[in-house]
Amino acid sequence: MKILTGLLLTGTALATPVFADVAADSRLNTVLDRGTLMCSGHNGSFLGFAEVDDKGNWKGVDIDLCRALAAGLFGTSEGHLEIVPVSWAQRWPALQSGDIDVVIKVSGWTQSRDTELNLSFSRPYFIGAFQAMSPASLGAESIADLDGGSMCAAAGTSTERALATYLESNGIQAEVLTFENGDELRNAYFEGRCDGYVEWAPSLAAARVDAPDGAEAHTILPDVIDLEAEGIIVPETDPDWLDVQNWMISSLWFAEANGITSENVDEIKANPTSSAIEKFLGVTPGYGERLGLSDDWAYNMIKEVGNFAEIYDRNIGAGSPYNLPRGVNALYSDGGVFFPMIID
């Protein structure tokens, strides 16, 4: 035991110089040396997660996470962040070849991606449910009520597979119509070609808002067909870079849990209420240094993009046209599944 403690102490002593514990070939060092973070964007848009505003600026949950990461690394994302448009098919090769440093692109954590593609996933930052929407006039209250009807889904996606499994295992007989293109799928549903429209919940919410016959004419059924956990993705051989991603997400939740927002972060930094918050905001050293970052990285991040609730509300929640409830994506204290890790 003594030997072990001794070893640990020597280890700590060796690790004391800043950045010393980050592997030399880590993407973290590459990014810090380059002075810009290259984050994944879209070739087009993905509603609520990556959109382009009237002036050609990116916005959305994924984009805000990119900004948070850049702000944490460099103090501000201004001038230090490049959103590189990549297509779905291109995101993994682009990450491996170094065209982008990190994939934040609503990408689900699947076994084949995790193992065969040599990718590392951070803790999920969003849980996407596959749900069904149905015309209110049908009076359906669950997917089981659509037995004998027809369902529309996107062809060749995980949604289609999950729907087939769900129908089979619940003994529901429904005809599944598939469509290649998301717009085509949505129009088919609104033209009345199917009784149920199966999609990722945020997309359903977006479609419902714009329903030609009004949002009230459509109900999103509560049954969850399947869940997809969206994480931040880095190459598998880079634990230091993965640590930064995990602690970034945890910091956003920590700030939310402790009521630290972009508005009051300065006040709280001036009068921290606990030693954990003191450490978190960089008043006392350690929180950044262990990751190879500056100690006030979390402060810079919160100052620029706010905590997780602010990011959510601004882009897909109550403060946005989508008005998607937090649901399972809330903190554990509000009935969700997310919680910050311990800051010691």
Q: Is 173 in the site for another protein (CB under 8 A)?
A: no
CA 64 to centroid of chain Cα atoms: 10
Select the span of 17-25, 205-213, 218-226, 303-311 touching another protein (CB under 8 A): 205-213
Among 13, 17, 33, 97, binds another protein (CB under 8 A): 97
Per 3-state DSSP, the chain is made up of helix, strand and coil in percentages (nearest 5) of 40, 20, 40
Cβ partners under 8 Å of residue 245, min gap 6? 69, 102, 122, 232, 234
Beta-bridge partners for 50: 46
Strand, coil or helix: 300: helix
Minimum distance from residue 59 beta carbon to another protein (Å): 9
For residues 54 and 51, give the distance between their C-alpha atoms in angstroms, rounded to a whole number. Answer: 10
Among 15, 117, 209, 229, binds another protein (CB under 8 A): 209
The answer to whether residues 139 and 113 touch, using CB atoms and an 8 Å cutoff, is no
Select the span of 95-103, 140-148, 218-226, 256-264 touching another protein (CB under 8 A): 95-103
Minimum distance from residue 206 beta carbon to another protein (Å): 6
For residues 11 and 14, give the distance between their C-alpha atoms in angstroms, rounded to a whole number. Answer: 5
Q: Is 206 in the site for another protein (CB under 8 A)?
A: yes
For another protein, how many residues bind (rule: CB under 8 A)? 38
Which phi and psi angles does 231 have, rounded to 5°? -125, 175
Q: Is 58 in the site for another protein (CB under 8 A)?
A: yes
User: Measuring CA to CA, how many Å separate 114 from each of 92, 107, 118, 237?
Assistant: 11, 11, 6, 12
Among 22, 26, 28, 48, binds another protein (CB under 8 A): 48
Minimum distance from residue 72 beta carbon to another protein (Å): 22
Q: Is 85 in the site for another protein (CB under 8 A)?
A: yes
* Closest CB to another protein among residues 192, 212: 212
Per DSSP, helices labelled H in 90-231 are 91-97, 111-115, 158-169, 182-190, 201-209
For residues 156 and 179, give the distance between their C-alpha atoms in angstroms, rounded to a whole number. Answer: 9
Binding mask 297-336 for another protein (x = CB under 8 A): -----------------------xxx--------------
Among 141, 210, 263, 334, binds another protein (CB under 8 A): 210
Minimum distance from residue 160 beta carbon to another protein (Å): 21
For residues 145 and 195, give the distance between their C-alpha atoms in angstroms, rounded to a whole number. Answer: 10
Among 5, 17, 33, 54, binds another protein (CB under 8 A): 54
Q: Is 96 in the site for another protein (CB under 8 A)?
A: yes
Residues that bind another protein (CB under 8 A): 42-48, 51-58, 82-87, 89-90, 93-94, 96-99, 183, 206-207, 209-210, 212, 320-322
